[in-house]
Amino acid sequence: MTPEIHSRTAMARLDHYFSIMRTTIFTLVAIAALIELGPGGYSAPLTMLVVATTAFGILAGGSTLDDVINLREDMPPETANSSYGKGVAARNVPALKMTLTILLALIGVAELYAIFT
């Protein structure tokens, strides 16, 4: 993989991660508004929407971060030895992935709790 292709791929995956997180958070906020402002009571479609959105955020965001980790490991030597490359290598992406998973799961559970009560 040439350095240019590597760079483009990394930027595309990071942009994809941003899109996934933006879509997930906006959808969860919209669901929270529906739960709060909508009619009370259980709603099967809303429950499934919470489950699907939470799963999408965790799985798609996690796989994108896995790709970012792999791209970081495959950095061309001239990039890896630069200050930028050393900074990228120092980032704790697995901790970001774990935090993403925990926070999205907690939001999903909180919304399910609100639907069922």
CA-to-CA dists, residue 107 to 5, 7, 10, 28, 89, angstroms: 36, 33, 28, 8, 30
Q: Domain-by-domain residue ranges, the chain?
A: 3-116
pTM of the model: 0.86
Neighbouring residues of 90: CB distance < 8 A, sequence distance ≥ 6: none
Quick one: average pLDDT of 23-35?
Answer: 95
pLDDT of residue 38: 83
pLDDT for position 93 = 93
Q: Can you tell me whether residue 110 is helix, strand or coil?
A: helix
62 contacts 101 by C-beta, under 8 angstroms: yes
